[in-house]
Structure 1
Amino acid sequence: MPDKSAPTLADLARLSGLSTSTVSRALADNPAIREETREKIKALAREHGYRPNIVGRSLRTGRTQAIGVVLPLGHEVGQPVSDPFFITLLGHLADALTARGYDLLLSRIIPSNADWLRDMTETGRVDGVLVIGQSDQVEAIEAMAKRYAPLVVWGALMDGLSQCVVGTDNRLGGRLATEHLLKSGRRRLVFFGNPDFPELGERYQGFLQAHAELGVAAPAHPLAVHLTPQTAYETIRSFLDETDAVDGVVAATDIIALSTIRALSERGLRVPDDVAVVGYDDLEIAIHASPALTTVRQDIGRGAQAMVDLLLRRLEGEPAPSLVMAPKLVVRASAP
């Protein structure tokens, strides 16, 4: 076999003395082929630099071996893919998909009509779709979830909807953050985040629930802060210009919490002495903040693995229920 040409399946069959169908099934880890034979064929393929014909495999199986990952940006059209939460989750998703033999096809979408998700699911480019965040697109996602099985969403689980969702118990997380501040003696709390987003709305409900359970009057309204750092900072700075009646902040995300610390510092307010701050996510940047950020941890790595597992189960027609993970409060210097 000339070195300059890549070996084919027929070449491997000739070298091994087996049929092309046996070689093909061995490379696909078909359990009908003995493990010893499978390992022998794989070793031969590595030795001779064999690469599978992806197009041919797709034609035979009807699968693209690609999974679409979609970021629908409805309210937050300016939120970049480089957002630390997106990057963290995408990294875990890419690792999990690669380990299962799939490629990742990423789309950042600013929805302009109700068909944005259909464009991804019905083009034949992917075998299934993972959606990161529900934004203001719950209805569009729900409509597709009813007719397209291999669809899994990172977001908030809502009663009465058929979406397969992976996420944290956001209401409990918001309650844990708020209880921590109230039990430490803080009484003038404010929630920074836009409750129109399903996940953030649940965190705000937890904020209100903690006040009610502890018999403390909650503020009349949250501060609807955007998720992009600079915009969040500017909104928080304007808020602080108008009031100093705050001694604790429950931020809907770590990014908002860090923007809060920046705005407080520029006003000469000390964290946590004057104002304690709690975030949500426990991203890598939280531990490196100054002061280190108290936050609600959601296990993003576990969630990404679950999204991939559930999607592939649904792709095979197997039952795959939603997963709601328990949050954990991580106490650091910003709210001891």
Structure 2
Amino acid sequence: MDDIARLAKVSKPTVSRALSGSHLVSETTRARVLEVARAQGYAVNRNAQKLRQARSGTIAVILDFGSHRGGRIGDPFMFELLAGVSEALSVRNQDILLSPPGLVDAQSCADLIASRGADGLIFLGQGNQETMLTELVRADIPFVVWGAVSKNNTYCAVGSDNALGGRLAGKHFVGRGTRRWLFVGNIEHEEILLRYEGLVAVARETNNGIEVCTLSAVDMSYAGVCSVAAEWISSNEAPDAVFAFSDTAAMAVISVFRDAGLVAPRDYALVGYNNIPPAAHFTPAITTIEQETHLAGSILVEKLMQRIDGANPKSAMLQTRIIIRES
């Protein structure tokens, strides 16, 4: 930096300000300093620079690998969500640390923050991590979660109205005159449980002899749902309505049921969740519950930045609606 200052005929502090983008340096001076720096092959060591700053400028994003056997996350919805978070972080000039290895409990997350590996955490999916999330609250670790929004949350969560999503699916099935409903999903996950409860509530309110069965999909991947759906349909009476926890799961059900001679919407009505782009182009086009994924990323990042700044942001529930298609 001393050499750059001498060659550019400015002070060392001016070089530092020019390279960091400070508004205290004129554009003319900044351009001259950058030109000299490039000519001399000088580059700022960002990791060393962060050690002198109050924050690391990095946010850790943790995917719910635990819900996908063998680390297989193939649901387009998750990557749409991740893309939104990444874009929102780039606008704020923040680096993204994607699913750092070893973050298996609250202590490892706290160690990452304490070592300045990241300023905060964004969890994309609650999974069955409620105990760890509660411990992070007690440890005062800045984080936000994409998942179920509940009055019982002790942390900031952003998500759709999952119970309403279940009710919308149930009302759709009632309108179709169906009575044997199948819910596909792992209700040990809070988000999925709320969807199931919304569906069951409509069945009870209708009081029309509706039976609701459940098919647990612990492995939430396409292949995992195919496996349990094939086993289930081989030994159970066919439903006339299916509500799947995701559009990817809905696609798996359609494929397996077709092999068993059941075709939607001829033999059963089907509703998925998330409204991923392929859902509209699948055969049949999938009726689904839409989450405003395009807003989720920016809201998650905004809430986390408020938390890092010492505020206590409230959870946010996104608009939830049903998109009627062929299935």
1:305 equivalent in structure 2: 298
Structure with higher RCO (Cα < 8 A, 6+ apart): 2
Q: CA deviation at 1:11?
A: 3.2
The RMSD of aligned alpha carbons is: 2.8
Residue 263 of structure 1 is matched in structure 2 by: 256
SS at match of 2:193: helix
Matched length: 322
Residue 168 of structure 1 is aligned with which of 160, 163, 169? 160
Moved more, 21-30 or 116-125: 21-30
1:282 aligns with 2:250: no
Once residues 82 and 325 of structure 2 are traced to their aligned partners in structure 1, the CA distance between those partners, rounded to angstroms, is 26
Residue-by-residue CA offset, 1:198-243 (whole Å, 9 max, x unaligned): 1101110111122223334443541112311112112112221223
Q: Cα distance 1:46–1:319, how it changes in 2: closer, same or farther (>3 A)? A: farther
From the superposition, tell whether residues 22 and 113 of structure 1 become closer, same or farther in structure 2 (CA, over 3 Å): closer
More displaced stretch, 51-60 vs 19-28? 19-28
Q: 1:170 to 1:10 in 2, by over 3 A?
A: farther
Question: Which of residues 212, 219, 234 is equivalent to 1:241?
Answer: 234
Q: Does 1:104 align with 2:128?
A: no
Give the Cα–Cα distance (whole angstroms) in 2 for the partners of residues 142 and 280 of structure 1.
27
Whichever residue aligns with residue 300 of structure 1, its letter is: T
Per the alignment, in what secondary structure is the counterpart of residue 222 of structure 1? Answer: strand
Letter in 2 for 1:98: S
**Cα 1:26/1:181, change in 2 over 3 Å:** farther
Aligned twin of 1:186:
178
**Residues in 1 aligned to 2:230 and 2:60: alpha-carbon distance in whole angstroms:** 38
- For the pair 1:11 / 2:14, whether they are aligned, the reply is no
Shift of 1:172: 0.7
1:117 aligned counterpart, secondary structure = helix
Letter in structure 2 aligned against 1:168? S
Q: 1:14 to 1:72 in 2, by over 3 A?
A: same
Deviations 1:253-295 (A, max 9, x none): 1111000110111112221111111100111221221111111
- Alpha-carbon distance between aligned partners in 2 of 1:27 and 1:244, rounded to the nearest angstrom: 69
What amino acid is the match of 1:277?
L
* Contact 2:120/2:304 (<8 A) preserved: yes
Counting only pairs closer than 5 Å after superposition, residues 27-42 of structure 1 correspond to structure 2 as 33=24, 39-40=27-28
From 127, 130, 136, the counterpart of 1:135: 127
Q: Aligned partners of 1:197 and 1:241: how far apart in 2?
A: 26
Q: In the TM superposition, what is the alpha-carbon distance from 1:51 to its structure 2 partner?
A: 4.6
The 8 Å contact of residues 158 and 299 in structure 2, kept in 1 or not, is answered as yes
Is the partner of 1:242 in helix, strand or coil? Answer: coil
Structure 2 distance, partners of 1:109, 1:246, is 42
Contact 1:68–1:126 (Cα < 8 Å) also in 2: yes
Which runs of 5 or more structure 1 residues have no equivalent in the other structure?
Answer: 1-7
Native 8 Å contact 1:81 1:108 kept in 2: no
Q: Distance in 1 between matches of 2:33 and 2:170?
A: 58
- Taking structure 1 as the reference length, what is the TM-score of the superposition? 0.85
Give the conservation status (yes or no) of the 8 Å contact 2:165–2:289: yes
Corresponding residue to 1:215 among 207, 215, 219: 207
Residue 40 (structure 1) shift:
4.3
1:327 pairs with 313, 320, 324, which one?
Answer: 320
Give the aligned residue type for 1:243.
N
CA offsets, 1:76-127, max 9 Å, x none? 4435244323222222222221221111111277986664533543442111
Q: CA deviation at 1:195?
A: 0.7
